[in-house]
Chains A and B, each alone.
Chain A
Amino acid sequence: MLQSATHPHAKSPIGAAPDLPLAAYRFMLRARLLDDKFAALYRAGKIHGGVFLGRGQEALSAAIGVSIQETDVFAPLIRDAAGRLAFGETIVDAVRTYLGSALGPMRGRDGNVHRGRPQAGYLPMISHLGAMVSVVNGVLFARRMKGSSGMVGVACLGEGATSTGSFHEALNQAAVEKLPLVLVVANNQYAYSTPNDRQFACADLSAKAAGYGIEAHPVVGNDLSACLEVVGRAVGRARAGHGPQLIVASLLRLCGHGEHDDAGYIVPELKNSPLGRDCLKLAEKFLLAKHFTNTAQIAAWRGEAIREIEDAVAQVQREPTPDPFTEDWSALATEHLVEGYE
């Protein structure tokens, strides 16, 4: 589903070829700018409900998006704007969902990060954490039954979701069925406000993989080239038939849980640690040091993205909002089984 970027299968180390990191960086940049716009619209009172940003998690998310293909399955979570764009979501779809446009994929029936196009393998999350993993399993399971092979499914979670029963059931199920599932856990140190030491007691979440009989891939989540290398390897292993892969990325959320949250609970020691460094700035530094790009090019990309985002917002703000009088108030696909309560 990559639109503007090519999709190289890097055989050489990531740092040696510019295409993939550059493509990933551009999605990171676009996601950051899109998030910034949503935050501004939220502060201006233009968005109903919450706004949830991926600030600090773009490197990991973009690495996922550029490592998979249009024919794969992707179940992103709330901090995956970059991965969504890389998987093919348009900025207009994202804006339409946040602003509740009747023309968006969710038609005002669901909002913000709850968006997707299931028939394109892009699954819209429900709020119950861990619940999407077995749904990804189901898509992979069905495709295998129909004779497809070579695809992977990626499900994204935070470390908080590793405490749920759904996580355990689905990971075990994928392992039993040897499904090509790549489960990405972004350990951003806090599940809303709850720190790691109140969430789990193991020294390293990737150690959980052994208990399920699957492969583990720890990675430093704010290092774009590390993410590209590790995610690429895990996706490759799953695609080659080696069963489920667990990626655990260490990073720090550089914002609140949502824009309503000032994140006062994040301790300074973490903010000042290597985990607290902004992945977008690190990626920029890396790309410039490698001479993969230059500051003028980055400025041009930034300007392009801002224009595209502003145009999308201006367009969507003129679009119709859902109309309760013409809304089809039925939750069933089978019309004759719908009950009238008028």
Chain B
Amino acid sequence: MSSITYLEAIREAQAHALRDDPRVFIYGQDVGAFGGAFKATKNLAKEFPGRVLDSPISEDAMVGLAVGAAIEGMRPIIEMQFADFSTVGFNQIVNQASTLFWRTKVSCPITVRLPFGGTSGSGPFHSQCLEAIYAHYPGLVVLTPATVEDAYSMLLSAVAINDPVIFCEHKLLYYHLKAEKLPSEALPIGKARIAREGRDLTVVTYSAMVHEALVAATELATEGWEIEIVDLRSVKPLDTDTIVASVARTGRLLCVGEAWPWGGVTAEVIARVTSEGYGLLDAPPQRLNAKDTPVPYHPNLWAAHRPTAHSIAAAARNLLRQ
């Protein structure tokens, strides 16, 4: 039986969008004939002539061009070669794209794809998780799919949304994560998913960390603990209702993120649960993030820098003992 990877799902979603909507085009470094650094646009330039275009190494101008095209009614997809490089285009994303609708009533339907997150040997400048800084800005939607099905359906939604979308696709999931087929229906954007049901503790997480948490939950199940895992899918908007409902069932909350610890998605989740669901908590909510240093190169250091199934299980045990 054939299967499809997370990366192939992203390619298929783009092919679908290009096929269905003449307003869609893709612009980014090496996305044309070469098919992208990760091959997320493989063969698309050939299949859709003039609509999948190489850009110069100019992240600022790439996003600026997308905003201008959006004003003209197009729906551009911008591929950042790595999320890390989107900081060069940061100004256009957070000051131009994100303010346009609010200032002028003209919507800005651009999708900025960020291949993000750590992989072994990638080091400080090809590993970053930037979802929190984009989520901080008003006017942006920030998506973090954890499954092949979500990578596909959420990218289609991203292109259809009338607002700038930061689409965080995890590089570690590109080749390893597989599904039997592409989905025909999906949860709406803004709804979280219960990735595993449990009664003892809620782990709220997203993207690649969902899979680490699932492994941890399997390990803890052998010890008699039933862990519930909430996959956020979208970090902005954040589905507070699903999170609080889960905490109501378990009484314990552990938030896990691959991003750096200061502020961010895990802190936001805890802030919301403590203010909206304080009485539901049987123990102080906890968070687990990467260490507060740049992402290291060597696999030994990298494995210790980010949360893993092992460290998630350890943090969960500590919380379960409280």
Please report A residues at the B interface, Cβ cutoff 8 Å: 105-106, 109-110, 114, 116-119, 123-124, 126-128, 131-143, 145-146, 165-166, 169-170, 172-173, 176, 330-334, 336-339
Contact = CB atoms under 8 A, between A and B. Distances in A.
Given A135-B67, A172-B58, A337-B161, A332 B141 contact: yes
9 contacts: A123-B71, A134-B92, A135-B67, A135-B96, A138-B69, A141-B69, A142-B71, A169-B58, A173-B56
A129 B106 CA distance: 21
Interface stretch (B97-105, B178-186, B198-206, B297-305): B97-105
B141 A138 contact: no
A337 B190 contact: yes
A127 B99 CA distance: 12
Interface string B294-321: 0000000000000000000000000000
A330 B60 CA distance: 26
Contact of A131 (B66, B92, B103, B141): B92
Contact of B55 (A118, A166, A173): A173
B190 to A, nearest CB: 6
Given A166-B64, A176-B56, A334-B161, A126 B71 contact: no
A145 B74 contact: yes
Contacts of B70: 138
A243 to B, nearest CB: 15
Contacts of A137: 61, 64-65, 68
Contacts of B237: 337-339
Contacts of A334: 141, 161-163
Contacts of B55: 173
Interface in B153-187: 161-163
B266 interface: no
Contact of B72 (A132, A133, A143, A166): A143
Contacts of B73: 142
Given A332-B141, A333-B162, A126 B64 contact: no
A131 B96 CA distance: 8
Contacts of A105: 104
B190 A118 contact: no
B163 A333 contact: yes
A332 B103 CA distance: 11
Name which of B91, B99, B103 has the most chain A CB atoms within 10 A of its CB: B103
Interface of B: 25, 50-51, 55-56, 58-74, 76, 88, 91-92, 95-96, 98-104, 106-108, 138-139, 141, 161-163, 189-190, 236-238
Given A176-B56, A331-B101, A333-B163, A169 B71 contact: no
B92 A146 contact: no
9 shortest interchain CB distances as A-B pairs: A138-B68, A134-B64, A142-B72, A169-B61, A169-B58, A331-B139, A138-B65, A331-B138, A333-B107
A176 B57 CA distance: 12
Given A126-B95, A131-B91, 14 more contacts: A118-B100, A119-B71, A123-B71, A131-B96, A134-B58, A135-B67, A138-B67, A139-B69, A141-B68, A142-B74, A143-B72, A166-B64, A173-B55, A332-B101
A131 to B, nearest CB: 6
B104 A169 contact: no
Contact of A118 (B95, B106, B138, B162): B106
- State the main secondary structure of chain A at its contact with B: helix
B104 A124 contact: yes
Contacts of B96: 126, 128, 131, 135
A141 B139 contact: no
Contact of A116 (B51, B104, B190): B104
B102 A109 contact: yes
Contacts of B238: 339
Contacts of B107: 333
Given A106-B104, A331-B101, A138 B66 contact: yes
A165 B60 contact: yes
A202 B60 CA distance: 24
Contacts of B98: 331
A141 B26 CA distance: 13
Given A172-B56, A337-B190, A338-B237, A124 B103 contact: yes
Contact of B190 (A117, A135, A330, A336): A336
Contacts of A332: 101, 139, 141, 163
A85 B91 CA distance: 29
B291 to A, nearest CB: 29
Contacts of B189: 337
Name which of A106, A118, A119 has the most chain B CB atoms within 10 A of its CB: A118
Contacts of A141: 65, 68-69
A230 to B, nearest CB: 25
Contact of A139 (B62, B72, B141): B72
Contacts of A124: 103-104
B118 to A, nearest CB: 28
